[in-house]
């Protein structure tokens, strides 16, 4: 997942990039404080959003009497389920987010990762998971050209394999892959919690080593585990910090971002 030399040069000479992963459960819960601080970010950064849609997918599967299955935390995607996933992610949820942004005087452009080879993917484990993919390549020029033109890309995490099959991609993993490919300065996971919490306090800054200790000690559990694991996987020489923030509050307090900052260690920076 690399960028062309021309695009890399443009990135270096222009505003840095922030990738924002917006959970499906947060779409209707973003506050005025969040949007106000988001406008502030847009003055200094190129931003793009990668969104999930799990709750909406589960709800529609239920209404259609299609039983959802999960394997090791990932949704098993059959041919029948894939049709629902495409409808929800590429249609309902993507349109819902772009409409909300328009109401906030932001210019979004909705994109499906399976269009124009934006996200080239391979199967994770076709036997156990069906049509579930992982990102192999990102068409970064398409995303950056949108941002250069003044638009905010809103990406539905669907990919296309080399033989043209659409696959469902975990939104956390898609956001991490796009952030790494775009050489983003920051990756933000917008959640319903103010950050990683230990002993009733938000941890302001941590490292992958400390996170592993918090997981083994039970302080990080449930749905937060895949988020922090995706965050750690995204850390690299180019992406040296990932934030877990709340969508129900302002992103910025004073001169710093709120939430939990996960910083790369020497090991991640070298990879």
pLDDT in tens, 198-212: 888 889 999 999 999
pLDDT tens, residue by residue, 114-144: 999 999 999 999 999 999 999 999 999 999 9
Residues 6+ apart with CB under 8 A from 193: 224, 244, 246
Backbone angles phi, psi at 27, to 5 degrees: -60, -40
* Least confident stretch, 98-102, 163-167, 261-265: 261-265
Model confidence at 11: pLDDT above 80: no
Task: Pull the structure tokens for residue 202.
Answer: 């938000």
Confidence of residue 25 (pLDDT cuts 50, 70, 90): confident
Compute the 3-state secondary structure of the chain and give helix, strand, coil in percent, each to the nearest 5: 40, 30, 30
For the chain, what is the mean pLDDT?
87
Residue 13 confidence class, pLDDT cut points 50, 70, 90: low
Quick one: average pLDDT of 236-244? 82
Lowest-confidence region among 47-51, 64-68, 81-85: 64-68
Handedness of CA 84, 85, 90, 92 (dihedral sign): positive
Mean pLDDT of 20-34: 88
**pLDDT tens digits, one per residue of 53-65:** 988 999 999 999 9
pLDDT given at position 223: 74
Per-residue pLDDT for 244 more than 50?
Answer: yes
Residue count (the chain) = 271
Question: What is the DSSP secondary-structure string of 8-66?
Answer: HHHHHHS--EEEEEE-GGGTTT--HHHHHHHHHHHHH-EEEEEE--HHHHHHHHHHTT-
Residue 6 has pLDDT above 70, yes or no: no
Q: What domains are there in the chain, each with its CATH number?
A: 5-190 (3.40.1160.10)
The terminus-to-terminus CA distance of the chain in angstroms comes to 14
Distance of alpha carbon 130 from the chain centroid? 22
Q: How far apart are CA 176 and CA 269, in angstroms?
A: 15
Query: CA distances (Å), 78 to each of 51, 62, 74, 81, 258, in order?
Result: 21, 15, 12, 5, 39
Q: Is pLDDT of 73 > 60?
A: yes
pLDDT for position 3: 47
Residue with tokens 């076709």: 126
Identify the weakest region by mean pLDDT among 12-16, 64-68, 107-111, 206-210.
12-16
Per the annotation, binding residues for substrate are: 53-54, 75, 168
Q: What is the mean pLDDT of residues 104-113?
A: 96
For residue 200, give the DSSP letter. T
Nearest 5°: phi and psi at 224? Answer: -75, -25
DSSP assignments along 84-132, one per residue: HHHHIIIIIIHHHHHHHHHHTT--EEEEETTGGGSEEEEES-HHHHBSE
Task: Give the residue carrying structure tokens 């307090």.
Answer: 253
Q: How sure is the predictor about 169, in pLDDT bands with cuts at 50, 70 and 90?
A: very high
Count CB-CB contacts under 10 A for residue 163.
Answer: 5
Residues of the binding site: 53-54, 75, 168
Query: Are 134 and 180 contacting, i.e. CB atoms less than 8 angstroms apart?
Result: no
What is the reported pLDDT for 78?
94
Q: What is the mean pLDDT of residues 150-156?
A: 97
Using a pLDDT cut of 70, give the percent of the chain over it.
Answer: 92
Q: Rounded CA gap, 268 and 148, in Å?
A: 30
């Amino acid at each position: 997942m690399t960028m062309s030399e021309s695009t890399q040069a443009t990135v270096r000479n222009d505003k840095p990039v922030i990738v924002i992963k917006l959970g499906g459960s947060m779409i209707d819960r973003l506050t005025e404080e969040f949007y106000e601080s988001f406008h502030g970010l847009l003055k200094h950064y190129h931003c793009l959003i990668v969104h999930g849609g799990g709750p909406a997918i589960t709800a529609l599967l239920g209404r259609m009497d299609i039983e959802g299955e999960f394997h090791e935390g990932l949704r098993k995607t059959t041919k029948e389920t894939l049709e629902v996933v495409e409808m929800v992610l590429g249609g309902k949820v993507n349109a819902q987010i772009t409409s909300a942004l328009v109401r906030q005087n932001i210019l979004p452009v909705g994109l499906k990762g399976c269009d124009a080879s934006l996200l080239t993917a391979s199967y994770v484990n076709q036997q156990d998971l069906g049509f579930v993919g992982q990102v192999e390549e990102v068409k970064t020029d398409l995303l950056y050209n949108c941002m250069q033109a003044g638009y905010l890309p809103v990406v539905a995490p669907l990919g296309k394999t080399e033989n043209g099959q659409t696959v469902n991609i975990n939104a956390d993993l898609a956001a991490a892959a796009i952030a790494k490919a775009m050489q983003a300065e920051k990756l933000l996971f917008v959640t319903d919690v103010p950050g990683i919490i230990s002993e009733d306090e938000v941890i302001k800054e941590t490292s992958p080593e400390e996170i592993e200790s918090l997981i083994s000690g039970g302080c990080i559990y449930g749905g937060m585990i895949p988020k922090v694991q995706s965050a750690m996987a995204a850390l690299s020489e180019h992406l040296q910090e990932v934030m877990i923030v709340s969508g129900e509050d302002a992103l910025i307090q004073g001169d710093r971002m709120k939430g939990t900052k996960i910083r790369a260690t020497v090991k991640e920076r070298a990879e």
